[in-house]
A and B are shown apart, each in its own frame.
Chain A
C-alpha cells in the first residue's frame, strides 16, 4: 500500500477522532448527546491504521495509532479509498455496512450511535466538506 493512500486516510481518521474530541469541548448540543454514552469505539482500517475513541462521563478522548484491549464496538474497513469515503460522509455509514465495506463487531447499538455523532462532526466541518 502506498504511503499516500495510508497518509490520506490517517488524516481523515485524525479529523474524526480529534474532531469529536473538540466537539465535546465546544458544542453544547453534542455534549448533551454524549452525556450518558459510555463506550470505546475502535476503528481499524487496512492493516496499518488503528485508532479508538473513548466516551466517558461526557468526555471524548481519541487515541491515534492505538488499539484498545476491550472495545465496545469495532469498525473494520479493509479498503483505504472506501474508508475515506465513509469518513468524509460521502458514503453513508449504514449503506457501507449493508454493502459489507464497513464491518462492525461488538455492541451494535453503540455502533449506531457513532453514525449519529458523525453527523455532528460533518456539520462542524462544513467549511471543509462543502
Chain B
C-alpha cells in the first residue's frame, strides 16, 4: 500500500521546487529578485519527511530531494503531512500557520522572510495545479 498523503506531499514539494528552478531560468523579473540571495533552505516534514533542501545562489535555484543539509541557513519544519499538503496546495496562509505553530522556522529567520516571495510568486504560476 502506498501512503498517498506522503506521496502527495513529496510530489508537491518536488514539483514546486522544480518549478522554482525553471522560473528562475524563464522569467527575468523573478531572476532579478533572486539577485543577492545566498541561502540554503532545509525543508522538513515531521516526523519522517519528506525532506529536501533548496540552494539559492547567483540568481539560480537548485534542489535536492530526500536530503538533509549539514548547515542550512534556515530550516522550515512542517508539523505533519497534513500541514504540508495544505501549505503546498495554497490552502493555508503561511504566516497564520506559523503563528499557530504548524510551521516553525529555525535558524536565520530574516533570511527566510526575505525569500518568502519565492513561494508567493510560484503560486501565481501553479494555481491550476495546486489550488484545487
Contact = CB atoms under 8 A, between A and B. Distances in A.
Interface of A: 3-4, 6-8, 10-12, 14-15, 18-19, 22-23, 26-27, 64, 84, 123-128
A36 to B, nearest CB: 21
B125 A7 contact: yes
Q: Size band of the B side of the interface?
A: 20 to 34
Report whether over half of chain B's contact residues are helix, strand or loop; otherwise say mixed.
Answer: helix
Interface of B: 2-5, 7-8, 10-12, 14-16, 18-19, 22-23, 26-27, 85, 89, 124-126, 128-129, 132
Contacts, number: 69
Tell me the dominant secondary structure on chain A's binding face: helix
Contacts of B5: 127
A90 to B, nearest CB: 11
19 contacts: A3-B26, A4-B124, A6-B26, A7-B23, A7-B26, A8-B126, A8-B128, A11-B19, A11-B126, A14-B15, A15-B15, A19-B11, A26-B3, A84-B128, A123-B4, A124-B2, A125-B7, A128-B8, A128-B89
